[in-house]
Chains A and B, each alone.
Chain A
Amino acid sequence: MDKKLCVLPCNGIDKSLGVVARTVALKLIELEPEMNLICPVLLNTNDERYETILKESNIVIIDGCMTRCATKLVDERNQKIFKRIFIPAMSKQFKIKPGTNLELNENGQKLAEKISIEIIKELKASEYDEISIEKKLEEFDFYEITVDKYYFQVPKNSYFFNENDCWVKPNGNTALIGISDYLQNRVSDIMFVELPKVGTEIEQFDDVGSFDSVKTVLDLISPCSGRIISVNKDLKEHPEWMNQDPYRKGWFAELELKNFDEDWELLMDGSGYFKYMKETITKEKEEMDFKN
């Protein structure tokens, strides 16, 4: 890896998972002494202290809960996140529960140890895994609508949608998948993506990775079944492409289709989705007007 690494934990000391986040960061420094440790409290009060490190390093952030303090600290400084660790998800992955004590018990220590080893393993693997696959960008016609300050597009042809606002664009026995323009508008600026692993077999409506925005974290719910054959690694460096160009440069993953003839029954074409999206927007607008 050309760039240095730094780690920024949330340091949430009022929850056991926050304490795990802090402990993981300390273990990472032990395992990789060249990695810089960023103190979130000092970062928050003295920007200059870490300015150079943040600019020159790949930033690994560790969040202990959905408040995502570490994510927000990086986002506020317009820096890119290289890797994000969400401790509750890791706790589930390793099936280790640290309990609620703020002083880490044996399980908490074990969890922190396992997570830090896993992070190092993944960081080393990513050194050899930086190939980006360029997809040909096509021009196409859109249905479009403007509501208040928002502008929404839906491609007229070639794309199919589920009611979870995700699309599939089949091409022979493979397909690209991604999120709709409506969904990217709704979640606002996307800051980080968690891509699925190549080779993973998925069923229709399975979760296929996730994405974090300034507002929330969401899973991409696959419109079709198949096997992941590639992912859009460029999104790690440019998650904003999911906002700027959700139907082309913002594609998420590519699948070898398994049963599209059957999956297709539960999907809408561009025209159907545009109608569905307009109804949803109208309902949301009525809700907002009612609240105001």
Chain B
Amino acid sequence: MSESYDPEKETFMGVPRKKIPWWPTIDYVKCNFCMECDKFCPHDVYAHIEGEEKKLIVKNQYNCVVFCRTCAKTCAPDALSFPNKREITKLIKKFRSENK
């Protein structure tokens, strides 16, 4: 992501992106650090840190496209999880109705 990218200004369905807690959570017990998710994601959500015990981290959580969980399909050990879509939809609707 370039320096011109400003997550503060990003919105999804009229809701500031930072108000929507949608991004992957890595289960480090299951993760085998194959990095398939990192290779797949075109939005630089993940980062690969060589030399660390946790070689994979979620670095740019707000870059994650709300409702997209395609990276989880690349994860053979099933180490990636996402929030409940119903809850996120409710939250988006609530924010929109309160900020009409």
Contacts and interface: CB of A to CB of B under 8 A. Distances in A.
Contacts of B34: 15, 65
B93 interface: yes
B75 interface: yes
B42 A216 contact: yes
A136 interface: no
Given A163-B12, A219-B70, A266-B93, A287 B76 contact: no
Interface residues of A, number: 33
A265 B93 contact: yes
A89 interface: yes
A28 to B, nearest CB: 21
B40 interface: yes
Given A92-B78, A100-B32, A210-B73, 6 more contacts: A65-B76, A89-B73, A217-B70, A218-B68, A219-B73, A266-B92
Interface in A62-79: 65-67
Interface in A205-226: 205-207, 210, 216-219, 221
A257 to B, nearest CB: 17
Contacts of B28: none
Interface string B78-100: 10000001101100110010000
Contacts of B4: 286-287, 290
A205 to B, nearest CB: 5
Counting chain B CB atoms within 10 Å of each CB, the highest count among A17, A97, A205 belongs to A205
A157 interface: no
A164 B67 contact: yes
B3 A266 contact: no
A89 B93 CA distance: 32
A92 to B, nearest CB: 6
Interface of A: 15, 17, 65-67, 86-89, 91-92, 97, 100, 162-164, 203-207, 210, 216-219, 221, 265-266, 286-287, 290-291
26 contacts: A65-B36, A65-B74, A65-B76, A66-B40, A66-B74, A88-B36, A88-B76, A89-B73, A91-B76, A92-B76, A100-B32, A163-B66, A205-B67, A205-B85, A210-B70, A217-B40, A218-B70, A219-B69, A219-B70, A221-B68, A265-B96, A266-B13, A286-B4, A287-B4, A287-B5, A290-B4
Given A88-B73, A217-B73, A287-B5, A204 B89 contact: yes
A34 B76 CA distance: 31
B54 interface: no
Contacts of B75: 88
A206 B68 CA distance: 9
A212 to B, nearest CB: 11
A218 B69 CA distance: 9
A266 B89 contact: yes
Contacts of B65: 164
Nearest to B12: A163
A97 B36 contact: no
Q: Max chain A CB contacts within 10 Å: which of B13, B39, B78, B96? A: B13
Contacts of B1: 287
A221 B12 CA distance: 14
Contact of A97 (B39, B69, B77, B92): B77
A20 to B, nearest CB: 9
Contact of A66 (B13, B39, B77, B78): B39
